[in-house]
Amino acid sequence: MSFTSHPPTGPLRVAVLAGGRSSEHEVSLASAAAVRAGLLEAGHDVLWVEIGRDGVWRSDGEPLSLTPGEGFPGAQVVFPVLHGPFGEDGTVQGLLETLDVPYVGAGVAASALCLDKVLFKEVMASRGLPQVEHVGVGAERYRREPGRVLEEIAGIGLPVFVKPAHLGSSVGIVKVTEAAAIADALAGAFEHDSLVIVEAMANGREVECGVLGIPVAERSAEGPRAIASEPGEIVFVGDFYDYEAKYSPGGMELLIPARIAPATREVVRELAVRTFELAGCEGLARVDFFVDGEEVLVNELNTMPGFTPTSVYAKLFDASGIAYPRLVDRLCRLALERHAERHAYSY
C-alpha cells in the first residue's frame, strides 16, 4: 500500500479545539492554551476554536460554519483538546471525519470505547488484561433491580469507588467504606451519568504511563505502532486521587521514575502499549495502573489526557526525551499521516 499524498514537512496551520459542553470545560481550556503555545513555539500557525458550554463553536468570537467534505476552514489539521463527553467520546471525532480533515488522537470507535469505563473494562477483560474487580450499573437496571445490584457490589467487598462511567478528571468519584452508604453514592453518580462503575479498592502504587504513536517511517515491519514513556508514580495528599488532588496546588506529586522494580517497569510499559493497541487508539494516550510489588493492574486509558506542560502526560514524555513543542508537533504529523493512509483505501 502506498499513500496517495505525503504529509507536509513545513509549518502547519492547526485548529485547536478548546472548551466543550462537559464538566471538564475549564480543564480543556487550560490544556488547549498550552497546546497552542507549544505549537507556536514549534513554528506552526494556530487557529483557536472555542466550543462554548452551549455547544456553539466560535472562532474570533463568531460562530463557525462547517461543511461536510470541505475540510476545516483555515486549517490543515485539527487538535481536539477536549475532555469528557461531547469531545472525547467519538462525537467530535465523527464530525471531523465527515469534514474529511486530519485530526490528532483516537478515532471514533476507540474514543467511544475508552470513555465508557464499563465497556472498556469488558473489552480488555476479554483479551486477558489484568484489572481490578468492578461492577457496571445502569440507572434503569438499578431502578428495576436495586437489591440484586447491591448484592453484586457487595461481592467485590469494601471499600469501593463509585464513579460516573463517562467522565474524566476524577469528576464525581466517591470512596465508600460502609455498605449503607453505597445507595447514596450511586444516586450521586447518577446525577452525572446514566452508567456508573463501582470498583474494588486496589492496593499498591498509582502508576501512569504515556503512549505515543510511531511514524510509519520509524516502525519496524512487525514492531509496535507506539512507544511507551518512562512510567511515573502519583503521590497525593488525602484519601484518594480525586479532582482536588489533581488540580489543587500541592495536591499531588509526580515521581519519575516510579518507585517500582526495573522488571515491573517493563511490564507497565509493555501493558501500556498493548492496551493502546487493543483499544484501537492512535496518536496518544495515557494508561493508568495499580502496581503492588510484581502485580500490575490496568485501571483505565485516557485518549486525551490533561495537556499542559505540567500535566502528567507531558511530564512523562519530557522525562523520556521528548520536549513539549516536539511532542505536539509529532502528534500533528501523525494525524496527517493517518489521514493520508486512509485516503489510500477505497471504501
Q: Is 300 a catalytic residue?
A: yes
Cell of 40: 507556536
Q: Which of 22, 28, 169, 299 is catalytic?
A: 169
- For residue 274, the tally of other CB atoms under 10 A from its CB is 20
Q: Is 324 a catalytic residue?
A: no
Q: Which of 41, 247, 251, 270 is catalytic?
A: 247
Q: Is 288 a catalytic residue?
A: yes
Please tell me the distance from the alpha carbon of residue 250 to that of residue 244, in angstroms, as a whole number.
Answer: 10
Q: Is 169 a catalytic residue?
A: yes
Q: Which of 31, 269, 306, 320 is catalytic?
A: 306
Contact 235, 241 (CB under 8 A): no
Q: Is 229 a catalytic residue?
A: no
Q: How far is CA 305 from CA 28, 46, 88, 346, in A?
A: 10, 20, 10, 33
Contact 50, 20 (CB under 8 A): no
Q: Is 247 a catalytic residue?
A: yes
Q: Which of 205, 274, 286, 330 is catalytic?
A: 286
Cell 489533581 belongs to 246
Q: Which of 19, 20, 22, 24 is catalytic?
A: 24
Q: Which of 50, 193, 282, 300 is catalytic?
A: 300
Please tell me the distance from the alpha carbon of residue 125 to that of residue 157, in angstroms, as a whole number.
Answer: 20
- For residue 267, the tally of other CB atoms under 10 A from its CB is 18
Q: What angle do CA 325, 329, 335 make, to 5 degrees?
A: 150
Cα torsion 261, 264, 269, 275 to 10°: value is -150
Identity of the residue numbered 75: A
Q: Is 144 a catalytic residue?
A: no
Cell of 184: 447514596
Q: Which of 23, 31, 302, 311 is catalytic?
A: 302
- Smallest CA-to-CA distance from 326 within 207, 215, 239, 244 is with 215
Q: Is 21 a catalytic residue?
A: no
Q: How far is CA 166 from CA 32, 84, 258, in A?
A: 21, 7, 28
Cα 143 to chain center, whole Å? Answer: 30
Burial level of 270, CB count in 10 A (0-12/13-18/19+)? middle
Active site residues: 24, 169, 247, 286, 288, 300, 302, 306
